[in-house]
Amino acid sequence: MTSFEDRIDRSGDCHLWTGHINAKGYGTFTAKGRTWKAHRLALHLEGQDVSGRVVMHSCDVRACVNPDHLSLGTVADNNADMHQKGRNNQPKGDDHYMRRRARSENRHKKKAPSR
């Protein structure tokens, strides 16, 4: 079995996770029947209690597991960091995916027969 440490590329400043990457770009690792996000497990293995907290990347590289680039915070801290760094590019109004989805669903609804 490959260990957590064996799946880290330490050739650069960011220690990049080389194992499984989920759809959102975060590394994942399964240990003792539990699947962890790799960056959360990296801090846990450093002795930090990650429960109930978010793990933030100072480098903004989702695959990075370098403990020097990770810190614990709240959802509010993470949102403030996102806004400060200009990463809040979520589409708004008609461009938001839920608005596009609603328009698409309305187009495909069958019309009720006239009486």
113 within domain boundaries = no
29 within domain boundaries = yes
In terms of Cβ atoms closer than 10 Å to its own Cβ (0-12, 13-18, 19+), residue 21 is middle
Average pLDDT over every residue of 44-55: 96
40 within domain boundaries = yes
C-alpha Rg value of the chain to the nearest Å: 20
Contact by Cβ (8 Å): 78, 56:
yes
Angle at 104 between CA 102 and CA 107, to 5 degrees: 110
115 within domain boundaries = no
**How many structural domains compose the chain?**
1
> Per residue in 89-108, pLDDT tens?
766 677 666 666 566 666 55
114 within domain boundaries = no
12 within domain boundaries = yes
Residue 1 is predicted with a pLDDT of 47
CATH of the domain at 91: 3.90.75
101 within domain boundaries = yes
72 within domain boundaries = yes
